[in-house]
Amino acid sequence: QVQLRESGGDSVQAGGSLRLSCAASRYFGSRFCMAWFRQGSGQEREGVAWIHSFGPPRYSDSVQGRFILSKDPAKNSVHLQMNDLRPEDSAVYYCAVKNEVQGCTSAPSWYDIWGQGTQVLVSS
């Protein structure tokens, strides 16, 4: 079973930047989706950014233009560069993966492998 580990969460002031990373324990195939989700206190888990191994990244409307998702196939990892952070971006951020798929979705229930999460706190 592939394991995912997130890193890079921290506390920053509004307007600052963070870079989250998600590393897989091993290679898990050539046709996959990797995604970042977040869950604020008392809120549902929501998709932030997702990418298929053969496609461009996609973003939720709330982060479009501020966050950049990139993949590093050589290291079985993806990164989420988060710029112009806002207090409403505060949440636990999770990465997730689904293997052997043709496309991606932002629905949390679709993904079957999850990391433990990393905390992001943005103060005003």
Inform me whether the pLDDT recorded for 22 exceeds 90. yes
pLDDT at residue number 12: 98
Specify the range with the lowest mean pLDDT, choosing from 16-20, 25-29, 56-60. Answer: 25-29
- Looking from the CA of 74 toward its CB, the CA atoms found within 13 Å total 0
pLDDT at residue number 5: 95
pLDDT at residue number 103: 87
Q: What six digits make up the tokens of 114?
A: 């999850």
Inform me whether the pLDDT recorded for 29 exceeds 80. no
What is each CA distance from 6 to 35, 40, 49, 113, 120, in whole angstroms? 12, 17, 15, 13, 12
Give the integer Cα–Cα distance in Å for 77 and 53: 11
